[in-house]
Amino acid sequence: MKALTYNVTVPGYLGLQVLGRLNRKYYYEGPLSTVRLVDVPEPVLPGPDWVKIKVRLCGFCGSDLSLIFVKGSAMASPFGSFPCIFGHETVGEVVQAGSSVRNAAFGDRVTLNPGLTCEPRGISPRCPSCEAGRTGSCERYADGPFAPGMFAGLCKDVGGGFAQYMVAHTSQVHRVPDGVSDEAAVLTEPLAVAVQAVMDNRPAEGDKVLIIGGGVIGAMIVKAIRGLGIGCSITVAEPSPFSAAYVKGSGADCVVDGDLIEAAEKIAGARVYKPMMGERIVQGGFHRVFDTVGHSQTFQKALIVTAAGGTVSLVGIARRLAFDPTPVWLKLLTVKGCYGYSFNDTKDGRRHAFETALCLMNERRVHVQDMLTHTFPIEEYRELIRVNVSKGRHRAIKTAIRF
């Protein structure tokens, strides 16, 4: 079968630091390319509690683009193994189920929590994070019978969704309701990321919320807040007119392109003070802030415009941040990391973020299908990458490979 594989080596990385400055295409074309289309054998079930899935769609994530351009932190490298078949936003059809599988059967349409946590790795007893239901923070990503990998798509032994077939552990499988199309179901994973971010930094009724970045995850956070019925004010900071219009239509009350300190003053009633030198400081401001960009400048502004006792969720992943921590101690702020998804206490009981995301879509409380603007056959993966490099020019929101 055809599969899109990812690989990076130290010599290759060093070579790309030179060639990549001449033309970014060398990251995905030529002898040092980090991504290749290859022929590989179809996967076989690793055990009786696994299923084999025929992939219909696999979404292309911003983290996939970062992998291709080798932008991630080396600190995460112990929790991945290469070469691997990448892609982790998947919807497909079960074509084989092991004898111990009870939650999926032949012909079922499913989406996958890609996390390769304690349960898929067969680790017992489970780590404290998995035992507590915080599976997104599993402590055993590098242990067990498989090579290191935080999720399918980052592990050389368990391939991801950029191939016609893949395997998944029964704990990773979620049936797709009939009312959810393939085009919506393939976005379950990013919606679950947003649901978890909101659950971990849930606004109160009447709060003033700021989301920095109106891309896929920023828009998903807006949709998740509205779908969960939280009555708060939502401001989104987004410079792209195309993305700004989309998040506005998704439920944002206000979209700003400019100085966030001025926005905090006008929208959240903050008071702005000018120090002897350097950036201004704010008292008052937004109660909850979600930084989906994760750059030094956006994170610094997030801290500045958050009200005393407020919480900043760092959703965007950056290699390194540099910032003045004064607002953290001055205003007793809480900074939260966001990664993956977990089980959460809801009015319907304890549910995984994937279940909540599927329910929100099935009940029409969240609409995401229109976010899938472009699909490509796997042979056109280079065009898919080019579109993602210039999303604004192509009016692209979310892209996917379609089998």
How many angstroms separate the CA atoms of 81 and 195, rounded?
28
335: pLDDT strictly greater than 90: yes
Specify the pLDDT at position 127: 98
The mean of the pLDDT values for the chain is: 96
How many angstroms separate the CA atoms of 117 and 139, rounded?
8
Condensed to tens digits (0 to 9), the pLDDT of residues 247-279 reads: 999 999 999 998 999 999 999 999 999 999 999
**Domains, the chain:** 2-187+368-402 (3.90.180.10), 191-337 (3.40.50.720)
How many angstroms separate the CA atoms of 113 and 175, rounded?
11
Specify the pLDDT at position 51: 98
Alpha helices by DSSP H, listed for 45-108, are 62-68
User: Which residues does residue 208 pair with via DSSP β-bridges, in sequence order?
Assistant: 233
How many angstroms separate the CA atoms of 135 and 340, rounded?
8
DSSP assignment of 163-193 equals: BSEEEEEGGGEEEPPTTS-HHHHTTHHHHHH
Condensed to tens digits (0 to 9), the pLDDT of residues 112-155 reads: 999 999 999 999 999 999 999 999 999 999 999 999 999 999 99
- Single pTM value for the model: 0.97
Specify the pLDDT at position 258: 85
Mean pLDDT of 372-387: 98
Strands (E), 207-316: 208-212, 233-237, 254-256, 271-273, 281-283, 286-291, 306-314
Specify the pLDDT at position 348: 85
Is residue 402 within 8 A of residue 163, CB to CB? The reply is no
Q: 306: Cβ–Cβ under 8 A, 6 or more apart, which residues?
A: 210, 285, 286, 287, 289, 312, 327, 331, 333
Alpha helices by DSSP H, listed for 93-230, are 128-131, 182-185, 188-200, 216-227
166: pLDDT strictly greater than 90: yes
Condensed to tens digits (0 to 9), the pLDDT of residues 59-81 reads: 999 999 999 999 888 888 899 99
Closest CA to 330 of 284, 288, 296, 264: 284
Specify the pLDDT at position 347: 86
Backbone angles phi, psi at 108, to 5 degrees: -65, 140
Condensed to tens digits (0 to 9), the pLDDT of residues 291-313 reads: 999 999 999 999 999 999 999 99
The residue whose two tokens read 């939260």 is 336
- pLDDT band of residue 334 (cuts 50, 70, 90) is very high
Mean pLDDT of 366-392: 97
Please state whether the peptide bond connecting residue 83 to the residue before it is cis, i.e. omega within 30 degrees of 0.
yes
- pLDDT band of residue 364 (cuts 50, 70, 90) is very high
Condensed to tens digits (0 to 9), the pLDDT of residues 180-233 reads: 999 999 999 999 999 999 999 999 999 999 999 999 999 999 999 999 999 999
Both tokens of 305, joined, read 């415009």
Specify the pLDDT at position 74: 83
Specify the pLDDT at position 168: 98
- pLDDT band of residue 401 (cuts 50, 70, 90) is very high
DSSP class of residue 42?
P
